[in-house]
Amino acid sequence: MARSFMQNMGTESHEPWSSILDSMLTGSIRTQSSNSLVTDSAAGATAFACGLKTHNGAIAVDTNGTPCGTILEAAKNAGYATGLVTTSRITHATPASFAAHVVDRDMEDLIAMHMISKNATKHTKVDLMFGGGMCRFLPQSNDNSCRNDDVDVWQAAKDSGVTTLTRRSEFDLLSQTNQSMLPLIGLFAHSHMAYTIDRDSTSQPSLSEMTQTALNLLDDTSDKGFFLMVEGARIDMAGHDNDPAAHVHDIIEYWRTVQKVHQFVHSNPDTLVVSTSDHETGGLALGIDPEYTWHPRVLNQVTKSAEQVCSYLFRTQKQDVTEVIEDHVFPKYLGIDNHTQAELDVVVDALQVKGGDGRHKACKHAIGGIVSKRARVGWSTGGHTGADVGLYAYGNQMHKIKGNMENSHLGTLLMQYLDVSPSQVTKALANTATRQLAFFHSPHHDHD
């Protein structure tokens, strides 16, 4: 979709257009977990991190709940610098699976503590972390906390010598210093960072900016090299919301990120970059029967994500909601100046759904559905699918990253490339606490 969108934004829509990933395609990944043909991000990321299959919801533990050493932890023990960059909460399933070990992905309070912990050599296991999720690092006595206890993880990080950042201005200074700032954690949002379409560039860095800074800092840290995991997390979340406009803009930002990494690898030919996905989300299709067409320019008129539109509607419900939708949401946020009564009704009905989470989800799907229908974009689900996902590689030994393979096999190949083994890490983790006493388990993850 994003490729076709970019092609049709040009003056000659029939001219071919390619993303940076198109030149890197080497194969595909099978995504099933140990207990389901349709994986979640926890099991999917654990396969990449540990090189083994586990059940949905598990964060870097095997099917028995035993911690498995990850490629990041093994790389750190071997002398590599390490980093995690994401646009989700840093404690969310994918980044967590590289640096934490819990039996349930919702144990994010414990995940936060694991992520700032030290390894067997008394070094912080993750040298650099950029993302969102500040609320998981603050004690529940703080108004901005979402923890279930009074542990101040942010202060604990500071006390252990970690440089901490929360403001864009502090982030910008990182490119102006010659001093080593690692270990470093920068969290720029209470929960997930903003969608690209919504992002205020004065308060949050983009994924590509965070990645470029991470590359620069990690490259200067260790003579042996570094391991960096970068996640365009909000692509998945837009898929869950069936929000095509937010989806396409976050994919394009991910391409910008890959372009920066590609340039780094080109200048440092002893480096390998691999790109893939935990899973597919949404069951996206271009073209809705019976028409053989789709209209990408519809997406170009949208200025806000469905998430932001719905948040705005919930804040203004004391007003005449119909008037707000007709006079503000449709023309200013969705670029629609000829809405139908049916489109108005579907949004109003969604706002009447009982329950906060259910109402918000219904609203997002209503907004995304209106844009999708006009663009002729189809979705088969608001969840994940069992489809294979693309595998892309560039750089040193990229010829080994090819063909169709299980996600766990890719994890093993990456460990072999770095010449690291997780076995010693796994032994050292034997007594690691993998259960959080107080937490809310969600049976259905809206963004997983």
Is residue 41 annotated as a catalytic residue, yes or no?
Answer: yes
> What amino acid occupies position 256?
R
How many helices, marked H, and strands, marked E, lie in the chain? 17, 13
Partners of 34 in the β-ladder:
none
Which member of 19, 33, 41, 88 is catalytic? 41
Place of tokens 């703080």: 142
Tell me which long-range contacts 427-432 makes (C-beta under 8 A, separation of at least 24): 428/69, 428/119, 428/120, 429/67, 429/68, 429/69, 429/101, 430/67, 432/67, 432/101, 432/114
For residue 254, give Cα distances in angstroms to 192, 233, 250: 16, 9, 6
**What number of residues does the chain have?**
448
Using CA atoms, how far apart are residues 129 and 351, in angstroms rounded to an integer?
37
Instruction: Enter the DSSP assignment of 59.
Output: B
**Closest to 445 measured CA to CA, from 146, 132, 106, 148:** 106
Using CA atoms, how far apart are residues 219 and 268, in angstroms rounded to an integer?
10
Partners of 286 in the β-ladder:
377
Using CA atoms, how far apart are residues 280 and 28, in angstroms rounded to an integer?
12
Considering Cα of 159, then 163, then 165, then 170, what sign does the dihedral take?
Answer: positive
**Closest to 248 measured CA to CA, from 301, 196, 309:** 196
| Catalytic annotation, residues | 41
